């Protein structure tokens, strides 16, 4: 009697898993370089000869061909016959003028301060200290004062990310019930501007550090809502805007340890008790780490927090509830969106 063949497993072989992780270096640096060089701005959905792309982007045709050929395997480009390439839907997001461009995000991830901080990963794991402090001796937000060009890349990246997050949040957020919303750490106001457009009865306060708020009016996000927005400069560790019945923070709390987060939230609670103790709300736009094992975008972003912030982290639903309670707030609910970001709602306890 013949023995039936053993079933073939679809799971990757152990050595293939290791090599895939190692080869991610080639993918990242190639991808980041393509974004920095603006290659996608010289391409479209229609196939184009590599020689023409190289000529218009002032790059080496053979080297560019080898990189695009590799990235095509990851769905960034589409490779056709005779060394022709076109943009895939993902590749289109590398175009500078795409309405949902992610080029600034890619550029920021490959900036010198990021690369040097990640080179400290071994010490991050060994000591729990963040890579920015290990490499530069200061917090990332203090470092930005020394590297204005890279700080500008960071703020552009956050603005483009806010555009994508805003679209997802607008599908689930109901802010029509509020009178005055403060976006704390709101950068140049991309998210707040979208909310003011969506809810015409809402007034907003854009609150951030002086050097950030100074550039917000020129960013031009509040066209048509200029009469309903105020710009305030300050630190949310010292105070938050007064007279608001709602406070919003997008990807702010994850930058800080629990004690720092508690201090920020406690200041918001203090103002809500004065202005709207029952109906007032605090909203966080953050990823939520699932309790179950397995891959999740929040677990990847958590490593960014490990390396680039002093005590920052992504949190589970239970950890958010504990953090709110420490600040005198209570978790009302967590609403998922079409993106990895959730809308997390808290009220005065």
Report the CATH number at residue 173: 3.40.50.150
Q: Has residue 113 been placed in a domain? A: no
Tell me which residue range forms the domain holding 279.
Answer: 166-348
Q: Has residue 297 been placed in a domain? A: yes
| β-sheet bridge partners, residue 22 | none
140 and 158 in contact (C-beta within 8 Å)? no
User: Same domain, yes or no, for 186 and 288?
Assistant: yes
User: Same domain, yes or no, for 197 and 296?
Assistant: yes
Q: Has residue 33 been placed in a domain? A: yes
Q: Has residue 343 been placed in a domain? A: yes
Angle formed by the axes of helices 61-72 and 50-57, to 10°?
120
Q: Can you give the pLDDT of all 349 residues of the chain as single tens digits?
A: 566 665 666 778 899 999 999 999 999 999 999 999 999 999 999 999 999 999 999 999 999 999 999 999 999 999 999 999 999 999 999 999 998 899 999 999 999 999 999 999 999 999 999 999 999 999 998 999 999 999 999 988 888 877 777 888 889 999 999 999 999 999 889 899 999 999 999 999 999 999 889 988 888 899 999 999 999 999 999 999 999 999 999 999 999 999 999 999 999 999 999 999 999 999 999 999 999 999 999 999 999 999 999 999 999 999 999 999 999 999 999 999 999 999 999 999 9
User: Same domain, yes or no, for 207 and 341?
Assistant: yes
- If one counts the domains in the chain, the total is 2
DSSP codes of every residue in 227-261: GGEEEEE--TTT---SS-SEEEEES-GGGS-HHHH
Those residues whose C-beta lies under 8 Å from the C-beta of residue 272, and which sit 6 or more positions away, are 244, 245, 247, 280, 281, 282, 348
| β-sheet bridge partners, residue 316 | 289
pLDDT the model gives residue 218: 87
Residue at a domain's end among 95, 121, 149 = 95
Can you tell me the distance from the alpha carbon of 75 to that of 257, in angstroms, rounded to the nearest whole number?
Answer: 37
Q: Has residue 159 been placed in a domain? A: no
Residue at a domain's end among 43, 77, 95 = 95
Those residues whose C-beta lies under 8 Å from the C-beta of residue 290, and which sit 6 or more positions away, are 296, 298, 316
348 and 273 in contact (C-beta within 8 Å)? yes
303 and 124 in contact (C-beta within 8 Å)? no
Can you tell me the distance from the alpha carbon of 114 to that of 132, in angstroms, rounded to the nearest whole number?
Answer: 8
In terms of DSSP bridges, do strands 288-289 and 203-208 run parallel, antiparallel, or are they unpaired? unpaired
User: Same domain, yes or no, for 80 and 185?
Assistant: no
User: Same domain, yes or no, for 86 and 181?
Assistant: no
User: Same domain, yes or no, for 268 and 188?
Assistant: yes
Can you tell me the distance from the alpha carbon of 243 to that of 58, in angstroms, rounded to the nearest whole number?
Answer: 54
End-to-end CA distance of the chain: 73
52 and 86 in contact (C-beta within 8 Å)? no
- Least Cα distance to 329 among 308, 311, 344 occurs for 344
pLDDT the model gives residue 11: 77
Can you tell me the distance from the alpha carbon of 178 to that of 174, in angstroms, rounded to the nearest whole number?
Answer: 9
- Locate all alpha helices (DSSP H) within 81-189, ordered by sequence: 89-92, 103-109, 112-118, 121-127, 131-136, 140-143, 148-170
Kindly state the tokens that stand for 22: 């190692």
pLDDT the model gives residue 5: 63
User: Same domain, yes or no, for 79 and 197?
Assistant: no
Length of the chain, in residues: 349
Q: Has residue 53 been placed in a domain? A: yes
Neighbouring C-beta atoms of residue 305, cutoff 10 Å: 19
Can you tell me the distance from the alpha carbon of 291 to that of 303, in angstroms, rounded to the nearest whole number?
Answer: 17
Look at the block and give the residue holding tokens 């990310």.
Answer: 161
pLDDT the model gives residue 161: 78
Can you tell me the distance from the alpha carbon of 156 to that of 154, in angstroms, rounded to the nearest whole number?
Answer: 5
Q: Has residue 307 been placed in a domain? A: yes
On the CB side of 157, CA atoms within 13 Å amount to: 17
208 and 186 in contact (C-beta within 8 Å)? yes
Residue at a domain's end among 77, 95, 113 = 95
């Amino acid at each position: 009697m013949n023995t039936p063949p053993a079933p073939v497993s679809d799971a990757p072989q152990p050595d293939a898993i290791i090599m895939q992780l190692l080869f991610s270096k080639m993918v990242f640096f190639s991808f980041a370089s393509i974004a920095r060089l603006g290659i996608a701005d010289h391409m479209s959905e229609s196939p184009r000869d590599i020689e023409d792309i190289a000529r218009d982007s002032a790059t080496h045709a053979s080297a560019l061909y080898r990189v695009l050929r590799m990235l095509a395997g990851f769905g960034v480009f589409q490779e056709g016959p005779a060394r022709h390439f076109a943009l895939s839907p993902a590749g289109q997001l590398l175009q500078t003028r795409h309405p949902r461009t992610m080029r600034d995000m890619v550029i920021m991830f490959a900036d010198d301060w990021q690369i040097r901080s990640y080179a400290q990963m071994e010490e991050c794991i060994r000591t729990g200290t963040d890579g920015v402090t290990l490499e530069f001796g200061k917090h990332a937000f203090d470092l930005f004062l020394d590297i204005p060009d890279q700080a500008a890349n960071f703020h552009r990246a956050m603005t483009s990310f806010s555009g994508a997050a805003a679209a997802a949040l607008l599908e689930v957020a109901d802010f029509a019930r509020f009178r005055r919303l403060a976006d704390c750490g709101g950068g140049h106001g991309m998210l707040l501007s979208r909310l003011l457009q969506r809810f015409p009865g809402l007034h907003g306060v854009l609150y951030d550090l002086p050097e950030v708020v100074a550039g917000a009016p020129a960013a031009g996000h509040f066209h048509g809502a200029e009469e309903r927005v105020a710009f305030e400069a300050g630190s949310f560790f010292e105070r938050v805007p007064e007279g608001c019945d709602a406070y919003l923070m997008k990807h702010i709390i994850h930058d800080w340890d629990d004690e720092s987060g508690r201090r920020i939230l406690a200041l918001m609670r203090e103002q809500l008790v004065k202005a709207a103790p029952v109906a007032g709300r605090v909203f966080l736009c953050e990823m939520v780490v699932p309790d179950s094992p397995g891959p999740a975008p929040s677990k990847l972003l958590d490593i960014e927090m490990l390396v680039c912030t002093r005590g920052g982290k992504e949190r589970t639903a239970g950890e958010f509830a504990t953090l709110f309670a420490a600040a005198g707030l209570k978790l009302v609910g967590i609403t998922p969106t079409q993106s990895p970001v959730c809308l997390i709602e808290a009220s005065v306890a």
